[in-house]
């Protein structure tokens, strides 16, 4: 073999090995999380762990049901605030936005995605928490709620998370809407439908897969968000039905207690991470399926 | 200009279809809310933070009196450089493999695609947990900048791979054919022709990755640790700017400094992202 041909082969091998890095990383992440988390789940008992309502590490009770519910609450809240505003904003970006201001606005949505979560958390802490505290007090005085809460609440976290998932939803929905052939829209207009009717009855249904993929991606981002949430959600590990009270999420459970946990407590926290990871894998898998659906349309 | 509708025409249509008018108002309202919230967030932090940026915030040594950002800033730079040093070669080389070497329809490509998509969807706290279990405990590096950097490197790998891949795909095939036609080998073509023309795209991705490293907290808390000093070596623990800011605001004793640090962090990240999009725009123009 000529030396040149040898280098060609060698470098091809190097590129191949580099390409294996991501596969190796995913494999290592799975192995280490599951190997460290599953023994704890086995020791606590799968059902006791998932459906147990008491989280008392000192007395050996490790039920993460309140945290699962907490994660679902704040994620649902984020969807309620983020999805309507996100979809309507992407309608504006795709159909209404004057060309002159499109570029700065597009850059602004990208900026929204780039702001670190700790800044969102800080903003929530100094602006939204006091607002919600006053809102809660007002409701309490009016006799609508029994507990005014202290501002660190499900509602606060939902608002901030709703803000944080906006760029994800705007980005995917806008590009899905732009991918709809323009003759759909023109045909609808020609039949006498108004612009709004054409958008909401023709374009959005045609872009459905992309829009749903965006929402699911947003769910993934909301459920996995950590720092912004723990700064504003109160982190009480118990069930509550009031939007004005605090709760703890799966992510928060890990960060708050990992610093001092030992033994089974520590393993239970890693197992919490495993549960979160499984949630995320399911969400990623659905996004992949939805994207495939969008490509086939 | 017969197809151009006047405002009068629009109003007449909306009078006939009040439902459409309400929908239009909702769309406008949503857009205003989105951008007003962003402007409010940035303005609020700048207005409240700028007055607290004082000389003592930039003391070379951190102490409990000054809550200096300098050590955290230096740690952030070290962390960024280390992570890039690890992730960039891997990211670029795997993109080269995917675009230039792997045969189309290869099953292995599907596997790599799937794993990179999985990686980009994993939340940072899971990376943090993995980093703690693998680099800190299993490899016994302890809380250290190196453990943090490796964790961050895995986290930014999919980003660098994807942007590089797109940049490589945008290089016209005629470049490659021309290079082959002149007798250059595959390797020479990749390094002398394809990669140089893809540099702006790669750079935009790398800068975006820097933005993510600078803003990251959850993945670093239990890998690089939270010591507020510059460590003696990369095997020592040190907190980055974002983590520093989290600690300041959660301790509650340094709210003024937290505001000031928020300004620095925000300006840094916004600047980095702007730089990335400027470079990316240059690419699309060229």
Lowest mean pLDDT among A246-255, B111-120, B237-246, B277-286: B277-286
Find the closest chain A residue to B157 by CA distance.
A22
Q: Are B124 and A224 within 8 A, CB to CB?
A: yes
Asked if residue A257 lies in contact with residue A207, where contact means CB atoms within 8 angstroms, the answer is no
Using DSSP's 3-state secondary structure scheme, residue B168 falls into: helix
Whichever domain contains B225, its CATH number is 1.10.3720.10
Residue B206 falls inside a structural domain? yes
Measured between CB atoms, which of A7, A97, A280 is closest to B187?
A7
User: How far is residue B229's CA from residue A70's CA, in Å, rounded to a whole number?
Assistant: 36
Residues B169 and B34 reside in one and the same domain? no
Residues B32 and B131 reside in one and the same domain? no
Residues B95 and B199 reside in one and the same domain? yes
DSSP H or E run through A55: strand A55-56
Residues B248 and B134 reside in one and the same domain? yes
Residues B24 and B150 reside in one and the same domain? no
CA atoms within 13 A on the CB side of A274: 24
Range A207-212 average pLDDT: 89
Smallest Cα distance from B119 to chain A, Å? 7
Structural domain boundaries in chain A: 66-296
Q: Could you give the residue ranges of the DSSP H alpha helices within chain A?
A: 3-44, 46-51, 65-91, 99-114, 117-123, 129-141, 154-178, 182-190, 195-198, 204-206, 208-224, 227-230, 250-258, 263-296
pLDDT digits (tens, 9 = 90+) for A3-21: 678 888 888 889 999 999 9
Give chain B positions within 8 Å (CB) of A11.
187
The yes-or-no verdict on residue A38 having pLDDT over 70 is: yes
pLDDT digits (tens, 9 = 90+) for B219-263: 999 999 888 888 888 888 889 999 999 988 888 788 888 899 999
Tokens (6 digits) for B169: 């795909």
The pTM is what? 0.90
The 10 Å Cβ neighbour count of residue B26 is 16
What domain count does chain B have?
Answer: 2
Residues B200 and B98 reside in one and the same domain? yes
Closest CA to A34 of A267, A259, A280: A267
A203-241 burial, b at 16+ Cβ within 10 Å, e below that, comes to bbebbebbbbbbbbbbbbbbbbbbbbbbbbbbbebeebe
pLDDT at A148: 83
Residues B46 and B71 reside in one and the same domain? no
pLDDT at B10: 78
Identify the domain containing residue B108 by its residue range. 56-285
Smallest Cα distance from A172 to chain B, Å? 15
Q: Are B221 and A96 within 8 A, CB to CB?
A: no
Tokens (6 digits) for B144: 């250290």
The yes-or-no verdict on residue A2 having pLDDT over 70 is: no
Using the Cβ of B130 and the Cβ atoms of chain A, whether some distance falls under 8 Å is answered with yes
Residues B92 and B17 reside in one and the same domain? no
pLDDT at A90: 95
A240 backbone φψ class: left, alpha, beta (φ>0; ψ -120 to 50): beta
Residues B231 and B135 reside in one and the same domain? yes
Q: What whole-number percentage of chain A has pLDDT above 70?
A: 97
User: How far is residue A121's CA from residue A164's CA, in Å, rounded to a whole number?
Assistant: 10
What's the CATH superfamily of A66-296?
A: MetI-like (1.10.3720.10)
Closest CA to B35 of A122, A89, A222: A89
Residues B237 and B253 reside in one and the same domain? yes
pLDDT at B283: 66
Residues B64 and B156 reside in one and the same domain? yes
Closest CA to A123 of A160, A162, A151, A149: A160
């Amino acid at each position: 073999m000529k030396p040149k041909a040898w280098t060609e082969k060698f470098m091809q091998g190097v590129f191949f090995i580099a390409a294996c890095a991501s596969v190796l990383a995913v494999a290592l992440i799975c192995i280490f999380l599951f190997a460290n988390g599953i023994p704890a789940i086995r020791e606590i008992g799968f059902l006791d762990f998932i459906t147990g309502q008491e989280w008392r590490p000192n007395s050996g009770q490790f039920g993460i049901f309140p945290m699962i519910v907490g994660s679902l609450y704040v994620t649902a809240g984020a969807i309620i605030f983020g999805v309507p505003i996100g979809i309507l904003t992407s309608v504006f970006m795709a159909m209404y936005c004057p060309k002159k201001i499109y570029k700065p606005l597009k850059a602004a949505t990208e900026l929204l995605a780039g702001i670190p979560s700790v800044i969102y958390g800080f903003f929530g802490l100094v602006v939204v928490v006091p607002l919600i505290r006053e809102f809660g007090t007002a409701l309490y005085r009016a006799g609508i709620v029994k507990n005014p809460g202290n501002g660190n609440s499900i509602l606060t976290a939902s608002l901030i998370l709703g803000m944080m998932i906006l760029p994800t939803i705007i980005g995917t929905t806008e590009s899905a809407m732009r991918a709809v052939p323009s003759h759909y829209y023109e045909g609808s207009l020609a039949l006498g439908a108004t612009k709004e009717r054409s958008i909401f009855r023709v374009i959005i249904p045609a872009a459905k897969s992309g829009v749903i993929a965006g929402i699911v991606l947003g769910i993934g981002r909301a459920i996995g968000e950590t720092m912004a949430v723990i700064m504003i959600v109160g982190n009480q590990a118990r069930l509550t039905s009031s939007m004005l009270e605090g709760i703890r999420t799966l992510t928060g459970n890990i960060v708050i207690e990992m610093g001092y946990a030992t033994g089974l407590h520590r393993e239970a926290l890693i197992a919490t991470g495993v549960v979160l990871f499984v949630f995320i894998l399911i969400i990623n898998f659905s996004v992949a399926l939805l994207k495939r659906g969008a490509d086939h349309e | 200009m017969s197809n151009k509708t006047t405002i009068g025409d629009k109003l007449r249509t909306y009078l006939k279809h009040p439902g459409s008018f309400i929908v239009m108002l909702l769309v406008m309202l949503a857009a205003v809310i989105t951008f007003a919230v962003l402007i409010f967030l940035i303005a609020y932090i700048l207005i409240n933070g700028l007055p607290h940026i004082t000389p003592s915030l930039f003391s070379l040594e951190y102490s409990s009196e000054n809550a200096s950002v300098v050590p955290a800033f230096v740690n952030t730079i070290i962390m960024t450089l280390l992570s890039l040093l690890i992730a960039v070669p891997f990211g670029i080389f795997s993109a080269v493999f995917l675009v230039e070497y792997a045969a189309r329809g290869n099953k292995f490509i599907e596997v790599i695609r799937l794993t990179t998509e999985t990686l980009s969807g994993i939340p940072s706290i899971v990376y943090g947990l993995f980093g703690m279990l693998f680099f800190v405990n299993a490899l016994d590096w302890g809380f250290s900048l190196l453990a943090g950097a490796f964790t961050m490197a895995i986290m930014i790998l999919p980003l660098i791979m994807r942007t590089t891949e797109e940049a490589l795909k945008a290089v016209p095939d005629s470049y490659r054919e021309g290079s082959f036609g002149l007798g250059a080998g595959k390797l020479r073509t990749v390094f002398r022709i394809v990669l140089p023309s893809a540099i702006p795209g790669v750079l935009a991705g790398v800068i975006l990755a820097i933005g993510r490293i600078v803003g990251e907290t959850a993945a670093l808390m239990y890998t690089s640790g939270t010591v507020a000093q510059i460590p003696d070596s990369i095997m020592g623990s040190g907190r980055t700017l974002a983590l520093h800011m989290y600690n300041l605001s959660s301790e509650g004793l340094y709210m003024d400094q937290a505001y000031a640090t928020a300004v620095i962090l925000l300006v840094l990240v916004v600047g980095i992202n702007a730089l990335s999009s400027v470079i990316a725009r240059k690419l699309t123009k060229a």
